[in-house]
Structure 1
């Protein structure tokens, strides 16, 4: 049976810290709903009411486009080992780009990742747990390094060119502002 909380408990924070993957869901009023898997040890619990993570370059940039139009976001964590549990965080998100002043303040809280493009903050309005008994057991083998190698090989200039070509708008044509509002 599901339970709801106004903030993360110590047990919730420990569960989050143990997870290797999480999912982020966003949407605007019209267009596609986006669900993105995240990992790479990029998530930080800031407080019982806030989490943030470092987002790296990918084939799309839907989350950034959506959050700038509609700040609502859902994050989901699920136990793939141990006791079954699904943990969802509902709230309002904010995206911080490399060109934003807050970037310099926040980036030091993360391990460096090649191709880092945004930091997302989620201000939690509701925490919900559910059983997760239908989620299969899965073994963690290790991190995939292909994205890090790809981004490192491209270099900073290559990544910025990739952003302009592939991360400038969402699949529904919404601006992501990855290069600043003037560049979009």
Structure 2
């Protein structure tokens, strides 16, 4: 049976932190934009890669940094209104683009149990990208004791307005095997090149090339957009066909009218004209009859 909460239940924090995979969903405001779903994983280097921020309940004197006894851990004196995750660099920038879009910010985070009792958990809220190198990024990294890894481009902070749990009875069970080192190894080299002054192979150019614009042409990582302008980096082509953006601008497909459409328009026009003529004739006849009745 599903349940909903206005804040994150402290009783589910331990389960949440044990998960190794979660999913992010977001979308642009335009009805013609593309809905994005991204899987997120963790690594055995750095971290933590996601978490919640605990606050004292109104009127409580609890110091969150000193929550030690079991009662406090179970949430007797705390409330959780914020979730965060470390956003690692990839070839796409959809989530960040949607969160940066004025008037948008909608985000859903989903976890599900791959072992033990079944459970699906969704976090609904408004997200804010705290981009790498900004004061807000540095503050949350320090306050949450986060060890970032090469390729970290932001911390996504979610203001929770609803948490939902459901059964997950149809989800299969999986055993965790190992972490994948590929992404970390790749961006270690990019960061090293940046520090060595090899800007062409550095991470800033990568952000400009692949993370400056979304697939719908929305601006993405602000740092990438700036580098693209200063270094004249052309964005990667992310889609094909009529929906593919051009120079960072979304291109909508041209409307194509077939012979069937033209015939339908002709029929409707003829029908409308015939109805209008009949109405005018009827009105004219009524006027003539009315006139004879008055003056005869």
2-side partners of 1:103 and 1:164: how far apart? 19
The two structures have a TM-score, normalised by structure 1, of: 0.94
In the alignment, is residue 123 of structure 1 matched against residue 167 of structure 2?
A: no
What's 1:166 paired with? 210
Of 107, 126, 147 in structure 2, the residue corresponding to residue 111 of structure 1 is 147
What is the aligned length? 184
2-side partners of 1:54 and 1:178: how far apart? 17
2-side partners of 1:73 and 1:91: how far apart? 6
Q: What's the Cα RMSD here?
A: 1.5
Structure 1 residues 144-174: Cα deviation after superposition (integer angstroms, max 9, x where no partner)? 1100000001225211111011111001111
1-side partners of 2:148 and 2:221: how far apart? 22
Q: Is the partner of 1:179 in helix, strand or coil?
A: helix
Q: Is the partner of 1:163 in helix, strand or coil?
A: helix
Q: Is the partner of 1:64 in helix, strand or coil?
A: helix
The two structures have a TM-score, normalised by structure 2, of: 0.59
Question: How far did 1:180 drift?
Answer: 6.7
In the alignment, is residue 9 of structure 1 matched against residue 16 of structure 2?
A: no
In the alignment, is residue 79 of structure 1 matched against residue 81 of structure 2?
A: no
Whichever of the two has the greater Rg, that structure is 2
8-17 or 139-148, which moves further after superposition? 8-17
What's 1:52 paired with? 84
Gaps of 5+ in 1: none
What's 1:66 paired with? 98
2-side partners of 1:138 and 1:113: how far apart? 27
2-side partners of 1:4 and 1:130: how far apart? 9
| More strand as a share of residues | 1
Of 23, 30, 39 in structure 2, the residue corresponding to residue 37 of structure 1 is 39
* 4+ residue runs over 6 A deviation: none
What's 1:145 paired with? 181
Structure 1 residues 2-22: Cα deviation after superposition (integer angstroms, max 9, x where no partner)? 111111112221121111111
1-side partners of 2:221 and 2:182: how far apart? 26
Indicate if the aligned counterparts of 1:57 and 1:115 stay in contact, CA closer than 8 A.
yes
